[in-house]
A and B are shown apart, each in its own frame.
Chain A
């Protein structure tokens, strides 16, 4: 089955630690995205990538980093510089250009303890 897989589903992090969220897709999509979702704020774009080895900052990139070494994979690292990391993180992918729809993974719930 084609789709987007995010792991883990739930993640706990101590303050001051970096943590990496995994996102893998087998849809052969060129573009991949990371969003953060908080109650009452909808989805906010963190980073996106249209091609391997290239990515752009979204609206709330501070405290996050990404890499795109393979077309299928777009991991997100939440660094200790992110002041309020507790949130629901969603990864998505789409074909590049033409305004095509994005397909989402099932999300990772990150909680700082």
Chain B
């Protein structure tokens, strides 16, 4: 079983839709949770970072963590064509805080 599972997609939605991207993880020792966005042929860039259960909002983006279910989500409201990218969840375990464990990434396409 992979430590972090993420549906690779692709996910195709119309402009203005609410997008839900999800990851599950297997180890309760995982402590820090991040979402990265990666445009084609570019390096990933950090979108959201959280270390506690609950919601964290930044503009159109909301990161949600449910530690009891080992489930993390990223919601994008009012999606735009410029949101078309691959979204990677990343987790840092408490037993090695210098190690990032990535999901496979979900490819999102927002069409006008």
**Interface positions of B (Cβ within 8 A of A):** 6, 8, 31-32, 34, 36, 41-46, 49, 51, 88, 90, 92, 97-100, 102-105
Task: Give 6 A-B contacts (CB < 8 Å), ordered by A residue.
Answer: A6-B43, A41-B104, A42-B102, A42-B105, A44-B102, A104-B36
**Interface positions of A (Cβ within 8 A of B):** 4, 6, 31, 33, 35, 40-45, 48, 50, 88, 90, 92, 94, 96-99, 101-107, 109
Which residue of B is nearest A9, CB measured?
B41
B34 near A96 (CB under 8 angstroms)? no
User: Of A4, A6, A99, which one neighbours B92 at CB under 8 angstroms?
Assistant: A99
B97 near A109 (CB under 8 angstroms)? no
B99 near A48 (CB under 8 angstroms)? yes
Measured between beta carbons, the chain B residues less than 8 angstroms from A44 are 102
A107 near B42 (CB under 8 angstroms)? yes
A50 near B98 (CB under 8 angstroms)? yes
User: Of B36, B97, B104, B105, which one neighbours A99 at CB under 8 angstroms?
Assistant: B97
